[in-house]
Structures are given as C-alpha cells and as structure tokens.
Amino acid sequence: MTIAQELADILDETVQALSNLDSAKLDALEQRIVVLAESNQKYESDIGLALPKKRELEIVLQNCQANLDALTRLHARNMRNQWAQ
C-alpha cells in the first residue's frame, strides 16, 4: 500500500471513529500515524486522494469543537436554572 493510500485510509477511519465516539479506535489510529511518520517515507503523489479527506476531518473537528462548546454552555445554563429554582 502506498503512503498516500495509507494516509487516506487513516483519515477515513479517523472520521468514522470520531462519528462513533470510539476512543479505542482513535488511540490505535494515533499509533498508526506515529508509525507512518517515523517511517520517513515521502508523500510524492496522489495528493488529491488525501486532500478532500483532510478537509472532511477538519470540518468534523470544527463541528466537534462547536458542538462541545454549545453543549457545555447550554448544560451550564440548565444547571444554573435548576439551582435557581
């Protein structure tokens, strides 16, 4: 498998693991990306394969952050309202 394909697969699986809130899978993916980084292979071609997946992961992470912020804020407000009653 080329480094491009491996990277694309890892990005795909990362999005899926984030969707399913699978922290064990995310840990395993972290190990895979560390191994890939340490292999010192050059990413020479097929950049088009990974770029859309990278963009997809970025959007998912941005949404995660936004949702987490919203949930934290709204739960804090709910808690304040409950204590105020």
**Residue numbers of the site for another protein (CB under 8 A)?**
15-16, 18-21, 52, 55-60, 63-64, 67, 70-71, 74-75, 78
Nearest distance from C-beta of residue 14 to another protein, angstroms: 10
Give the Cβ contact number of residue 2 at 10 Å.
Answer: 13
> Minimum Å distance from CB 28 to another protein?
18
- Tell me whether residue 34 or residue 77 sits nearer to another protein (CB atom): 77
- Rounded Cα distance between 57 and 14, Å, is 8
Q: How far apart are CA 9 and CA 18, in angstroms?
A: 14
